[in-house]
């Protein structure tokens, strides 16, 4: 979908481009489906908002920790823009942001096509 094209019927508007800072994500509910939308270098990626390990909310990846100061990172997971992955905020499971796969376990979560059109972000349901 390009900025010139019309939004197709199977796409749902979920956010404005400004709502999702680069390298971060937000959670949205699209037709009853909980989805995490991530901005990776200005491109948008959508996947199930729940980690396949223990259902952690993936959109919180990269947020500053509010507890567990003794652990080894200052943030809870995060988006790796070079490797196109997101690390779970609870146990740092690294998931491919395009396929939803956790390579080590083989577990996978759903992914959705996402597009930015005229300043809005749409997800294909």
pLDDT in tens, 41-93: 999 999 999 999 999 999 998 887 655 555 555 667 889 999 999 999 888 89
Beta strands 33-40 and 25-30, pairing class: antiparallel
Whole-model pTM: value is 0.85
pLDDT score for 66:
59
DSSP 3-33: TTSPPPTTEEEEEEGGGS-TT-EEEEEETTE
The domains of the chain are located at: 11-65+72-124
Residue from 119, 124, 120, 112 nearest 36 by CA: 112
Longest dimension (CA), the chain: 50
pLDDT score for 72:
53
The fold for domain 11-65+72-124 equals Rieske Iron-sulfur Protein (2.102.10)
* Interatomic CA distance for residues 114 and 112, integer angstroms: 6
pLDDT score for 76:
76
CB neighbour list of residue 118: distance below 8 Å, 6 or more residues apart: 3
């Amino acid at each position: 979908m390009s900025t010139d094209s019309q939004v197709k019927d199977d796409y749902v508007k979920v956010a404005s481009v400004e709502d999702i800072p680069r390298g971060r994500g937000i959670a949205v509910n699209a037709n009853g489906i909980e989805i995490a939308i991530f901005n990776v270098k200005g491109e948008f990626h959508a996947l199930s908002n729940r980690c396949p390990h223990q259902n952690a909310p993936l959109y919180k990846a990269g947020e500053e920790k509010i507890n567990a100061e003794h652990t080894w990172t200052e943030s809870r997971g995060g988006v790796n823009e070079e490797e196109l992955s997101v690390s779970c905020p609870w146990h740092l499971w690294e998931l491919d942001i395009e396929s939803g796969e956790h390579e080590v376990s083989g577990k996978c979560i759903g992914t959705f096509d996402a597009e930015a059109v005229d300043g809005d972000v749409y997800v294909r349901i």
